[in-house]
Amino acid sequence: MKQKFPIIVRSLIIFTVFLLALFTFFNSFSEDSYLPVHKKWFIYGKVIPPTDYNKNVLRLIDIDLLAPKETAKDGDFYWLQTSGDLITLTNRNFIPVTGILKFNLDIDPCGTERSIFIGTKQGSIQLQTLRSKKAEFEFQFKIDSNSSEFLSIVGSPDRPCKIDEEMDRSFMAKVTDIEVVNLDVNE
């Protein structure tokens, strides 16, 4: 019985040393094999263009909304809900650009006339949705290299327009024909 105790202690010591060696081995590799974008900004002061980037060809501006894109016979559209929405314009070029964001606002399916407020860095722009015609919106923007511009959209009155209780969506307005025009280099 006396000989089993030293064997158990020796086995525990060997096992502990083995675990320590294994832990040391796996933690000895560098964690910086991949350099994330935020560290590239810090090291170089800017994001370096990929080797296949052509500075003479402007990439399109990405337009994103929180609302899902929907499709109809007359084209793609977005249903804005009474909770509001956010439009994000992203410049994937390695130079600053200017352009004009254009879109149309149709009235909601319930026919509620609304004041739509579009918030920009410069202030708020008010549009009115009417039963008789579309409200046209144009916004001139300037976006720095690899940056984004954000526009918020809210409406008044906030009375919901529900056409299908199962979907649980309250409509505010329909955005159609959204596009960026006159995209140019901002020198």
Is residue 157, in this structure, part of any structural domain at all?
yes
- Say what the pLDDT of residue 85 is: 92
Quote the DSSP letter at residue 157.
Answer: S
* Cα gap 24→97, rounded to integer Å: 50
Is residue 29, in this structure, part of any structural domain at all?
no
CA 125 to each of CA 28, 151, 155: distance values in angstroms, whole numbers, following the listed order: 56, 10, 11
For residue 133, the enclosing domain spans: 59-185
Is residue 129, in this structure, part of any structural domain at all?
yes
Is residue 26, in this structure, part of any structural domain at all?
no
Which CATH number fits the domain that encloses residue 150? 2.60.120
Beta carbons within 10 angstroms of residue 187's beta carbon: 6
Q: In what order do the strands lie in the sheet with 85-90?
A: 62-65, 85-90, 148-156, 114-119, 124-129
- Say what the pLDDT of residue 29 is: 64
Is residue 38, in this structure, part of any structural domain at all?
no
Tokens describing residue 62: 């990405």
Is residue 43, in this structure, part of any structural domain at all?
no
Is residue 45, in this structure, part of any structural domain at all?
no
Q: Which of 182, 179, 177 is nearest to 99 (CA)?
A: 182
- Say what the pLDDT of residue 176 is: 93
Q: At CA 132, angle to CA 130 and CA 137, rounded to 5?
A: 55
Cβ atoms 185, 96 nearer than 8 A: yes
Q: At CA 45, angle to CA 39 and CA 46, rounded to 5?
A: 85
CA 84 to each of CA 4, 13, 130, 144: distance values in angstroms, whole numbers, following the listed order: 74, 64, 18, 26
* Cα gap 116→128, rounded to integer Å: 6
pTM of the model: 0.71
Partners of residue 71 on adjacent β-strands: 76
- Say what the pLDDT of residue 45 is: 63
Is residue 17, in this structure, part of any structural domain at all?
no
Chunked into runs of 10 residues, the chain (187 residues) has average pLDDT values of 74 90 75 61 67 86 92 90 90 92 88 88 85 86 91 83 72 91 89
Q: Provide the number of structural domains found in the chain.
A: 1
